Structure 1
């Protein structure tokens, strides 16, 4: 392939030849050192080495599909540098064994003409449970039959996004079954979010992904979230499509690098699995209830889609599926999401799934879908780009998650009939406040530009790169990255302002990598210089014994005492005996945190002491830093 040849020229000179590939190997070895704590005894990568951390996951020794996708990418680049892709294959096998659900026994009873029953999303957790309404029309699932035909299975090949690796909660549901209790082995598949845009991690009620009513209340945890006439034991999973797409992206690079070395045959089995994941990733391209895309402002009046008219072709926020635990009752469901955040888009994954012969999926409309998705994603970047260069939030086919009518100014300029949302999906904190969404997504766009030379991608990147460089603050060899962003106006007149700066080392590395790929293709010497300066700052100033990190204050840990809404009269228990009732708080639902070796810092803060500070080694950030070193070394032979 032409793409392989382009990459090979840069790669041949760079392998093991320069400072930055050596820095990649140093960081790689820190992550893989068993004594440093990045992996469980079962070799599952932890979200974070340190246990006391609350962000998306609410404990360090959970893990996410994001973490797995970074591990896959890390091992792909190790193969590029060292010529050995066995760890890449092993990481994917571990992923398949632990985070792709095997308990999917009722999927064979799925009705493609009625994928799921509608339940509106609400603005506050206090408005839940949400009533299921079968009178609202839903659309037809247009890809289920072709996926079954292609792979001979009714199971969804996608990563459930959240695992309790050490079974801290004690749900104990393990792969292939529903084994309960604190003594069961992990990892345990579970979930936390399920109650609308204002449900931050601090307001969640964690629940098992396989609910047999062993814990929680009389209906397990189900009647906290949905109101129905009756409840049945069931399994339910949720994927984070950006993570699945990142795993495909990593497989693409593994294919490029292994092909250049003449050992592509060593990874063909893993490439086939990545292709399969990309096929099922297409569920992220559809409206939540497969309703028709465009001006969908009434749940009853907005019709269900009949074919691909329910596809927005953007990588959305989540995909969920589930079914009866007892297969004899024979029901299952699948949903996508009408909301798409620019930060989740991955043009390189779409390119790989539509153009790379080793990754084109088997589904007979998959290549067509990903070809369309690639162009639609580029359109979205153009639509959301501010005059400054940054990208605003996203778009939705379901305003407020219930096909509501947005204010008139949002109806004047839509994106394929979908409405602009500056904070799609979640509002606490606003989903496009964090600068990292910019660098994550633009890094993928820059990689796509590097391999394709797409002039539209370059034009978009030209503006973003100029803005990003202008808002990074250097002080000698050190730096501060933009942290929080504020937004005003609506497309095409939306604007951005940086409100705070900080020391997020993961966003520094992903920004450096975006600038690296952009510079390698465009020849922009300033972008290359800024990338190098960020990477040198990371390496020279922030080394720790087990990675590259810095201390960070956590004033938000005052929210350990935040009330968690539980309907009056509802009572239940967790496996350790923690009571779930209307007096619940974050810490009351997680009393085991009081045994954490760093809990004393939080306890003192809650009693009026100083804001606690922690030095965290997040797997994604540590891997991201390593990958930034490696990319620079490979592309510039330095």
Structure 2
């Protein structure tokens, strides 16, 4: 009733999606189709590829404003006009889209929303290229391939608009300032009328301070460049790779340091497609460095695809050094991983804001009220064998150290090794 005003709210089913993950699945299907056909086994993956094309059709919902408002200079939830046709589409991969409806079969209502926020780290030009140009992945809808062709161009413009003076890619844009179509600060830079946001969606921590988003996103640009030789992709990569390499250290023993936390200042020039600005007022600095294996693998993949197409010797040698370094220094019985000091776990004691007078229960029984903390409503953490390390830290001890074998990281390492073997060995 905190949200609905009554205790008998209408029950509903609902789903949400991560557009960047869906686009990565399309990206994988593209490579699977190419490699299978090279072996004369295209039929072995044709069913899966067809499903990817269908998903790509639906994925166009990620291109729309949250409430399907017109894109550009959208201020005021009531005064910003609703879209007609496709003028509510920004043609970028947004943060999410979601849909749902009544669980009561006599209810007869349903809903669907897009997202007004587009993050640079979510874009995938290779997926857009595949869905617009690769025959087996072109959606069956009448305008699907054309929409993805426009998205491909828009994504490449987005990267160019967000590229800092140094070379890193800044956060993104929104069609709904502050998430409520508020009036943005005076002088805010725009991209087709969408406002520049250095930290789209989440601010704690800032959504674009993690170098991993750089490596993930540029790797997709590099694959697109390697497959097509696109000049716009090469120009973005030339500048990004030069910056990233200048911030990378390979030690004599093979260990390495790559950027971790980024800090941003300024903003890009307002986008002018016919005369793009130089972004001399948009800057990035590297606050600290890491030897994280998952991010390093994604970065090595970027360098591999870029180096294979451009011939850049330093990109190729650094890709090899990163892969050799993690293989030689960070292997254990479970995979490849490095220890991490987790001072952020001090936030287990953080208060959870619940207005006074409202109470409830978590699914596993803990009380939710105005004195709740992160850990008080997640008691299951105390059953973890390593909880004592967190508990000691919360009582004033040293920050705990853990070695995580994250699935995505192990997968990225394997893919990076494979990409290097295919393209550069």
Could you say whether these structures have the same fold, taking a TM-score greater than 0.5 normalized by the shorter chain as the test?
yes
- Change beyond 3 A, Cα 1:354–1:226: farther
SS at match of 2:288: strand
Question: Cα offset for 1:225?
Answer: 4.8
- Post-superposition Cα deviations, 1:254-302, rounded to whole Å, max 9, x if no partner, equal 0111011110111111111111111111110000000000000111110
Partner of 1:484: 261
Structure 2: runs of 5 or more not aligned: 270-280
Q: Structure 1 residue 266 and structure 2 residue 54: aligned?
A: no
In 2, the alpha carbon distance for the partners of 1:264 and 1:551 equals 42
Superposition map of 1:151-170 within 5 A: none
Asked whether the equivalents of residues 224 and 566 of structure 1 are also in contact (C-alpha less than 8 Å), the reply is no
For the residue of structure 2 that corresponds to 1:582, the secondary structure is: coil
- What SS is found at the alignment partner of 1:340? strand
Asked whether the 8 Å contact 1:465–1:515 carries over to 2, the reply is yes
Q: Helix, strand or coil: the match of 2:106?
A: helix
C-alpha separation between the residues in 2 aligned to 1:360 and 1:444? 19
Distance 1:434 1:519, change over 3 A: same
1:566 match: 354
Is structure 2 residue 11 aligned with structure 1 residue 238? no
Pairs within 5 Å for 1:126-205? none
Q: What does residue 125 of structure 2 align with? A: 347
Shift of 1:236: 1.6
Which residue pairs with 1:584 in the alignment? 372
1:576 positional shift: 2.4
CA distance in 1, matches of 2:7, 2:192: 37
**1-structure distance, mates of 2:7, 2:76:** 24
Per-residue deviation at 1:384? 0.4
Change (3 A) 1:438 1:227: farther
Q: Distance in 1 between matches of 2:332 and 2:16?
A: 35
Residue pairs, 1:239-254, within 5 angstroms: 239-254=17-32
* TM-fit CA distance, 1:574: 2.3
CA distances 1:135-176 after superposition (whole Å, capped 9, x unpaired): xxxxxxxxxxxxxxxxxxxxxxxxxxxxxxxxxxxxxxxxxx
Q: How far does residue 490 in structure 1 lie from its aligned partner after superposition?
A: 0.8
Q: What is residue 531 of structure 1 aligned with on the other side?
A: 319
How far does residue 227 in structure 1 lie from its aligned partner after superposition?
Answer: 5.4
SS at match of 2:219: helix
Aligned ranges 1:177-576 → 2 under 5 Å = 223-225=1-3, 231-410=9-188, 413-476=189-252, 477-492=254-269, 493-576=281-364
Pairs aligned (count): 413
Match of 2:274 in 1: none
Counterpart of 1:588 in 2: which secondary structure?
Answer: coil
Cα distance per residue 1:395-424 (max 9 Å; x no partner): 1110011111111120xx310001100001
For the structure 1 residues 601 and 386, does the alpha-carbon distance in structure 2 shift closer, same or farther, using more than 3 Å as the test?
A: same
Instruction: Describe the SS at the equivalent of 2:287.
Output: strand
1:449-481 alpha-carbon deviations (Å, 9 max, x no partner): 011110111011000000000001222111011
Q: In the alignment, what sits opposite 1:39?
A: none
Let me know the Cα RMSD of the aligned residues: 1.2
Are 1:604 and 2:380 counterparts?
no
Deviation at 1:368, TM superposition (A): 1.0
Q: Counterpart of 1:299 in 2: which secondary structure?
A: coil
2:422 and 2:20 mapped to 1: Cα distance? 25
Q: Note the C-alpha offset of 1:326.
A: 1.3
Deviations 1:572-592 (A, max 9, x none): 112322111111111111111
Deviation at 1:567, TM superposition (A): 2.0
Residues 392 and 432 in structure 1, CA contact (< 8 A), matched pair in contact too = yes
| 1:625 to 2:413 alignment | yes
CA distance in 2, matches of 1:280, 1:622: 29
- CA spacing shift, 1:280–1:224, aligned 2, 3 Å: farther
- SS of the residue corresponding to residue 632 of structure 1 reads helix
CA contact (8 A) 1:485 1:497 kept: yes
CA distance in 2, matches of 1:528, 1:425: 35
Match of 1:235, SS state, is strand
Residue deviations 1:83-123 (CA, integer Å, cap 9, x gap): xxxxxxxxxxxxxxxxxxxxxxxxxxxxxxxxxxxxxxxxx
Secondary structure of the 2:340 match is strand
**What's the offset of the Cα at 1:229?**
9.4
Gaps of 5+ in 1: 1-222
Seen in structure 2, the aligned counterparts of structure 1 residues 346 and 228 have a Cα distance that, compared at 3 Å, is farther
